């Protein structure tokens, strides 16, 4: 029962109203100890203009700040953003991936990446994560620090942002600044890419 009480308090604390959908949460602990939660705030699960926002807690999740907008897609009323995925780097920086979706045309495009060097207080501009013109990396689904590199997995589509979908693996240096594609987890011609 105690666990349920805690969950209900958190849901109430994050509630922005009946007409708001806050989803896709990802939480990290920044190098200075604060907890950061990244979410998508919109009105539906996927098909509405939305923002990627961040909240922080300085007391182990006891209280949370109001959401602070980090990114809104500039594409217009039929574009949205999804899937914030954050990773704390060994030296304390944070990288944050977000995905873009043109829901009016059903096109999944341009995973973006940004970096913070002050525990999430300021962020670099969001830039295209994978500029390879032969594919469209839509969504970095997860990433880990593994010894001397970062390993990231993502879902990709054709350059137009349409199926077939496939999954890829990237290696990055520990600064999160240089990336190379390493392998297909699922090949394009099989069309079974998903949120690995």
**Contact (Cβ atoms closer than 8 angstroms) between residue 112 and residue 128:** yes
Please give the C-alpha separations between residue 112 and each of 15, 78, 92, 100, 139, in angstroms, as whole numbers: 27, 18, 20, 8, 9
Both tokens assigned to 72: 């809104």
Beta bridge partners of 54: 38, 68
Residue 2 has pLDDT above 80, yes or no: no
Query: Taking residues 11-40, what's their average pLDDT?
Result: 86
Residue 32, pLDDT > 60, answer yes
Q: Per-residue confidence at 76, pLDDT binned at 50, 70, 90?
A: confident
> Hunting for tokens 């913070």 — which residue is that?
116
3-state secondary structure 25-51: EEEEECCCCCEEEEEEEECCCCCCCCE
**Residues 110 and 100 sit within 8 Å (Cβ to Cβ):** yes
Average pLDDT, the chain: 90
Under the banding of pLDDT at 50, 70 and 90, the label for residue 162 is: very high
- Does 45 have pLDDT greater than 90? no
Q: Is the pLDDT of residue 116 over 70?
A: yes
How many helices (H) and strands (E) in the chain? Answer: 1, 12
**Buried-exposed string 1-19: b where 16+ CB fall within 10 A, e elsewhere:** eeeeeeeeeeeeeeeeeee
Q: Which of 162, 46, 164, 167 is nearest to 107 (CA)?
A: 162
Write down the pTM of the prediction: 0.89
Residue 18, pLDDT score: 73
Higher local confidence (pLDDT), 15 or 32: 32
């Amino acid at each position: 029962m105690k666990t349920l009480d805690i969950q209900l308090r958190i849901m109430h604390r994050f509630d922005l109203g009946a007409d708001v959908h806050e989803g896709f949460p990802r939480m990290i602990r920044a190098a200075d100890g604060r907890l950061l939660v990244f979410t998508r705030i919109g009105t539906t699960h996927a098909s509405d203009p939305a923002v990627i926002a961040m909240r922080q807690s300085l007391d182990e999740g006891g209280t949370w700040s109001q959401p602070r907008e980090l990114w809104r897609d500039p594409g217009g009323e039929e574009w949205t953003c999804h899937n914030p995925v954050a990773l704390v780097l060994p030296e304390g920086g944070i990288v944050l991936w977000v995905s873009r979706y043109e829901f009016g045309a059903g096109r999944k495009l341009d995973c973006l990446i940004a970096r913070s060097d002050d525990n999430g207080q300021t962020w670099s501009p969001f830039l295209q994560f994978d500029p390879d013109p032969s594919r469209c990396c839509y969504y970095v689904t997860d990433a880990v620090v593994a010894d001397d590199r970062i390993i990231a997995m993502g879902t990709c589509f054709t350059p137009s942002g349409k199926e077939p979908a496939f999954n890829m693996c990237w290696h990055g240096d520990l600064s999160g600044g240089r990336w190379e594609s390493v392998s297909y987890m699922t090949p394009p011609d099989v069309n079974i890419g998903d949120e690995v």
